[in-house]
């Protein structure tokens, strides 16, 4: 999965570092595209020496520090292009994609929170922690992560496979955001019912995954069908939903997503279910 970059490690503790000339600098344009060069499939990012604008510390990978460019100075550099997050996902190494997704999540939060939601004053960076603070009314804003579930619904030796109506074109599982006032297990049952009309039981946690592309924390669950598993697909959300036998499951082109790992696990091993 995207976050599995061992022996490297993402260190996300916040420090109020100043950027040095050899630290890396992540630059996103107003549409959230990342500025990068390419060297044999590896992303090449700008460095601190490339800018005169402000930068905020994001995280480190091992001993390498990454910063985010803030401010409105537009940057162009020969040999570098702006790539959408989706393009970057297909183009660069897994470690680079994790860096880009995580940087994007933080960029999106900084970018969407320039002004106080209470009084409209421009927000300042808080020095002691990862937060934005309003100098006028004291309102403090922390980074937001959206919890969402990925659900592998099992019926004997088949898995409930879906395809989204728009966006990602490959096979997927039922997925959806937690709504206010429910547990993740309730999200699982509600999303499967809403998208496919199927009732589920024996909901069990599998693994989780940070997914900065959509500012998510994805939480994977397997569960068993309850009843005959007749599908009534929500055509606003999906263009395909069906029970697919293990041997017929077509995986995604790479193994970055929790969804793909769950499909792969079921395809290769099956999973014990109630019988």
Of 45, 44, 46, 43, residue with least CA distance to 92 = 43
The torsion region of residue 137 among left (phi > 0), alpha (psi -120 to 50) and beta comes to: alpha
Which one among 19, 46, 116, 161 touches Zn ion, defined by CB under 5 A?
116
122: DSSP letter? B
Structure tokens at 83: 């790539």
Contacts of 198 (CB under 8 A, 6+ apart): 153, 160, 192, 225, 227, 229, 230, 231
Which one among 139, 199, 252, 255 touches Zn ion, defined by CB under 5 A?
139
Interface stretch with Zn ion, choices 37-45, 77-85, 117-125, 209-217 (CB under 5 A) = 117-125
Please tell me whether residue 125 binds Zn ion under the rule CB under 5 A. Answer: no
Closest approach, Cβ 30 to Zn ion, in A, equals: 24
Identify the residue whose tokens are 């090449």. 44
Pairing of strands 24-26, 34-39: unpaired
Interface stretch with Zn ion, choices 88-96, 118-126, 212-220, 240-248 (CB under 5 A) = 118-126
* 103 membership: H or E segment, kind and range: helix 94-112
Nearer to Zn ion, 137 or 169 (CB): 137
Closest approach, Cβ 72 to Zn ion, in A, equals: 22
> Cis omega before residue 7 (within 30°)?
yes
Identify the residue whose tokens are 């082109």. 253
* Chain residues 76-95 in contact with Zn ion, contact rule CB under 5 A: none
Interface stretch with Zn ion, choices 76-84, 136-144, 227-235, 248-256 (CB under 5 A) = 136-144
Closest approach, Cβ 108 to Zn ion, in A, equals: 21
Which one among 54, 119, 232, 250 touches Zn ion, defined by CB under 5 A?
119
Closest approach, Cβ 197 to Zn ion, in A, equals: 45
Which residues contact Zn ion (rule: CB under 5 A)?
116, 118-119, 121, 134, 136-137, 139
């Amino acid at each position: 999965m995207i976050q599995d970059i061992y022996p490297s490690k993402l260190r996300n503790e916040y420090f109020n570092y100043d950027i040095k000339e050899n630290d890396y600098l992540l630059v996103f344009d107003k549409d959230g595209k990342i500025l990068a060069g390419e060297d044999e499939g590896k992303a090449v990012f700008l460095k601190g020496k490339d800018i005169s604008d402000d930068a905020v510390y994001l995280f480190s990978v091992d001993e390498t520090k990454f910063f985010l460019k803030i401010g409105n100075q537009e940057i162009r550099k020969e040999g570098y292009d702006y790539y959408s997050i989706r393009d970057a996902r297909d183009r660069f190494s897994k470690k680079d994609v994790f860096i880009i997704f995580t940087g994007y999540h933080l960029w999106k939060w900084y970018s969407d929170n320039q002004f106080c939601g209470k009084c409209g004053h421009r927000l300042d960076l808080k020095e002691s922690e990862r937060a934005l603070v309003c100098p006028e009314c004291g309102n403090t804003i922390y980074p937001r992560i959206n919890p969402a579930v990925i659900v592998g619904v099992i019926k004997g030796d088949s898995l409930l496979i879906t395809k989204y109506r728009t966006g990602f074109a490959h096979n997927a599982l039922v997925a959806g955001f937690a709504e206010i006032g429910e547990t993740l297990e309730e999200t699982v049952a509600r999303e499967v019912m809403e998208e496919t009309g199927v009732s589920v039981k024996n909901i069990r946690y599998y693994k989780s995954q940070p997914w900065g592309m959509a500012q998510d924390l994805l939480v994977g669950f397997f569960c068993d069908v309850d009843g005959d598993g007749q599908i009534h697909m929500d055509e606003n959300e999906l263009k395909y939903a069906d029970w697919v036998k293990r041997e017929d499951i077509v995986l995604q082109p790479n193994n970055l997503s929790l969804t793909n790992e769950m499909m792969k696990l079921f395809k290769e091993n099956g999973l014990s279910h109630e019988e």
